[in-house]
Amino acid sequence: DAKTTQPTSMDCAEGRAANLPCNHSTISGNEYVYWYRQIHSQGPQYIIHGLKNNETNEMASLIITEDRKSSTLILPHATLRDTAVYYCIFHAGGTSYGKLTFGQGTILTVHP
């Protein structure tokens, strides 16, 4: 899996959009971008994933640059419950199954 670079920590005001960046300059063409979050030592929670196109679901939006060297996870209206560690992961699928490589992630703190 490709190595990702994320900021160690970020702050966001409640009700505002949280934009979490991730750099992945060595990503391969067949590797998906996955985002997970982990709230206070609970089990990680899947958020969203994408390959080339931008993606949106009920939790977040994922913006992937055209050259695929970076991406941004957007939480459109952050709440206090979104305070968590957010992991950006690259994964090829296929015979890689669900063997994910977790880095240090970004600690997002949402404040009132």
- Summarize as ranges the residues that interact with another protein (CB under 8 A): 32, 34, 36, 41-46, 49, 87, 89, 91, 93-94, 96-105
HSE value, Cβ hemisphere, 13 Å, CA-based, for 12: 25
CB-CB contact of 98 with 44 (8 Å): no
* Minimum CB distance to another protein, residue 15 (Å): 28
Please say which residue, 16 or 52, places its beta carbon nearer to another protein.
52
Please say which residue, 12 or 105, places its beta carbon nearer to another protein.
105
Q: 97: left (phi > 0), else alpha (psi -120 to 50), else beta?
A: left
Please say which residue, 73 or 105, places its beta carbon nearer to another protein.
105
* Minimum CB distance to another protein, residue 24 (Å): 14
Please say which residue, 14 or 49, places its beta carbon nearer to another protein.
49
* Minimum CB distance to another protein, residue 13 (Å): 26
The residues, any chain, with a CB within 8 Å of residue 93's CB and separated by 6 or more, are 30, 32
* Minimum CB distance to another protein, residue 36 (Å): 8
Residue 30: closest CA among 63, 2, 65, 72: 2
38 SS3 class: strand
